[in-house]
Amino acid sequence: MTMIRRLRTSPITPWATGGLLVALVAVLPLLDLSLPGVLPGSTYTPGTLQLLAFAMVFAALALSYHLLFGVAGLLSFGHALYFALGAYGLGIVLRDTELALVPAMAVVLMAAIAVAAALGALSLRVSGIAFAMVTLAFAQAGSVLVRRNASVTNGEEGLPLRVDNIPAELVGVLNTRNVYWLALVLLVVVFLIVAWFERSRAGHVVAATRENELRVRVLGMTPFRVKLITVVLAGGLAALVGMVYLLLQSGVTPAVTTPDFTLTLLVIVVLGGVGSRWGAVVGGLLYTLLDQRLTALARSEAIQDLPEFLRIPLSEPLFILGTLFILVVVLLPGGLAGVARRTLARADSARARAGRSLDEEATP
């Protein structure tokens, strides 16, 4: 009893649980588990692994967005830009140069950091809602750039991945599980970097600017610099995620450059619980699975036979997700993480009460 409670409160526990989870996820491709209704097939099948890898990539991307919105309180509508920069950048470098994968990734990462620094410095001249609009404008410019320059980006068709200089282990359906592990490594690395940043001095300061910028200023720190650092870090991580996405999808389409794509991230982070790292991860996983399932559901006969006024809304996954999102914002402040926290707190206090009465009985 007390043992359990001690475990629960120890700071090591979440990390231990996390490590266990990672190990579990890592061995999934070697197991034959099926979750009908949640996963399209058994856990070792490429289709399922592809979906799970995709979910992890999204979770990692949501974590990078969590840095902006959850930690720094910066509402950005342009985060897709850096993700797209990673995916398209790597695709173009691999196609037009003979660089190997890792150097190519390094080049693209440098470029993304430079762009994030420049655009971040500009957009941080305004705050709050104006910041949101400005980031949206920059991302839109990026989107137009991708669509208009078909000679470089292949336009609406999307850019296929040229595999000549990529390790063979990462190519082809049979190697899906390698890409799956890559996605897992990515998620873990991004998680650790984000956690480390939040604990760093800059992370504390930027969180403080979210609460009260004035106080930070009074303490003699410049909010601008720590915010810029956060924007650059989030942009760099998003680009990294974009590169893994390219490898996973064997290509990239302009859909990832649109403002809607960033809005999806916002939905994920809010769904998971603003300010919670685990919330971002869980939100990312859940959103991807839900989106995939809802799309499958929309095509199912059960839905197609419904009368029109039900069929039309139910066959649009984004309609359902958007509505769900509104409901979470209005009814569930704190998202999933908030729910979890409240449930745990309630369980804890219930247990404390039970424990106390037991103690009282024991001592005559």
Partner 1 sequence: MTDEARKALGPILRVAGLSASIDGQQVVEQVDFEVPATGVTAVLGRNGVGKTSTLKAVLGLISRSGVVEFDGERIDSEPTHRIVQRGIGYVPEDREVFASLTVAENLRLAERGTTPHRDMVDELFPDLIARSAQRAGSLSGGQQQMLSLARVLMNDNRLLMVDEPTKGLAPRIVTEVAAALERAAAVTPVLLVEQNLPVVRRLAHTVVVIEGGRVIHAGPAAELLDDDERTQQLLGVHSTDHGAPKGDTDHGAPRGDTEHGASKGADESREETP
Partner 2 sequence: MSTVLLLLITGLGLGALYFLVASGLSLIYGLMGVLNFAHGSFLTLGAFLGWEVARRMPDGSWLTFGVSILVGAVVGATVATLTELLLIRPLYLRHIEQVLVTVGLSLATVALFEGIWGVDPIYVVGPEWLNDTTDIAGALIPNDRFVLIAAAVIVLLGLVVFLKRTRYGLIIRAGVENRAMVTALGVDVRRAFTLVFAIGGAAAGIGGVLASHYFGYVSPLIGGSLLIFAFIVTVIGGLGSLTGAAIASVVVAVLQQFANFYLGGTGDFMVVALLAVVLLVKPTGLLGSKA
CB of 72 to partner 2, least distance (A): 13
Q: Which two tokens stand for residue 309?
A: 């006024």
Which of 335, 151, 331, 146 lies closest to 254, judged by CA? 146
When CB distances are held under 5 to 8 angstroms depending on the partner's kind, the choice from partner 2, partner 1, none that residue 323 binds is partner 2
323 binds partner 2 (CB under 8 A): yes
Q: Which of 17/323 has CB closer to partner 2?
A: 323
Q: Which of 106/126 has CB closer to partner 2?
A: 126
Q: Which of 204/217 has CB closer to partner 1?
A: 217
Q: What angle do CA 267, 269, 270 make, to 5 degrees?
A: 65
CB of 326 to partner 2, least distance (A): 4
Q: Which of 122/192 has CB closer to partner 2?
A: 122
Which of 38, 240, 258, 221 lies closest to 144, judged by CA? 258
CB 151 within 8 Å of CB 20: no
CA gap 153, 351 in Å, rounded: 59
Q: Rounded to 5 degrees, what are φ and ψ at 159?
A: -95, 120
Q: What one-letter code names the amino acid at 214?
A: L
Q: What angle do CA 163, 164, 167 make, to 5 degrees?
A: 75
CB 58 within 8 Å of CB 285: yes
CA gap 301, 161 in Å, rounded: 35
Given 263, 286, 332, 340, the residue binding partner 2 (CB under 8 A) = 263
214 binds partner 1 (CB under 8 A): yes
118 binds partner 1 (CB under 8 A): no
223 binds partner 1 (CB under 8 A): yes
CA gap 306, 311 in Å, rounded: 5
One-letter-per-residue 3-state SS of 230-295: HHHHHHHHHHHHHHHHHHHHCEECHHHHCHHHHHHHHHHHHHHCCCCHHHHHHHHHHHHHHHHHHH
When CB distances are held under 5 to 8 angstroms depending on the partner's kind, the choice from partner 1, partner 2, none that residue 14 binds is none
Q: Which of 78/86 has CB closer to partner 2?
A: 78
CB of 287 to partner 2, least distance (A): 12
127 binds partner 2 (CB under 8 A): yes
286 binds partner 2 (CB under 8 A): no
When CB distances are held under 5 to 8 angstroms depending on the partner's kind, the choice from partner 1, partner 2, none that residue 44 binds is none
117 binds partner 2 (CB under 8 A): no
How many residues of this chain interact with partner 1, rule: CB under 8 A?
Answer: 14
Which residues on neighbouring strands pair with residue 159, listed in sequence order? Answer: 252
Q: What one-letter code names the amino acid at 186?
A: L
When CB distances are held under 5 to 8 angstroms depending on the partner's kind, the choice from partner 1, partner 2, none that residue 318 binds is partner 2
Q: 304, exposed or middle or buried, with CB in 10 Å at 0-12, 13-18, 19+?
A: exposed
Given 322, 348, 353, 355, the residue binding partner 2 (CB under 8 A) = 322
When CB distances are held under 5 to 8 angstroms depending on the partner's kind, the choice from partner 2, partner 1, none that residue 223 binds is partner 1
Helix residue spans in the chain (DSSP H): 2-9, 12-27, 46-66, 80-96, 101-123, 128-148, 150-153, 176-199, 201-211, 213-218, 223-249, 259-272, 277-299, 301-304, 308-314, 317-331, 335-362
Contact segment (CB under 8 A) with partner 1 among 19-27, 207-215, 326-334, 349-357 equals 207-215
312 binds partner 2 (CB under 8 A): yes
Q: Which of 214/358 has CB closer to partner 1?
A: 214
Contact segment (CB under 8 A) with partner 2 among 46-54, 142-150, 220-228, 354-362 equals 142-150
Name the residues that contact partner 2, by CB under 8 A: 75, 122-123, 125-130, 132-134, 136-138, 140-141, 144-145, 148, 259-260, 263, 266-267, 270, 312-313, 315-323, 325-326, 329-330, 333
Name the residues that contact partner 1, by CB under 8 A: 124-127, 211-214, 217-218, 222-224, 227
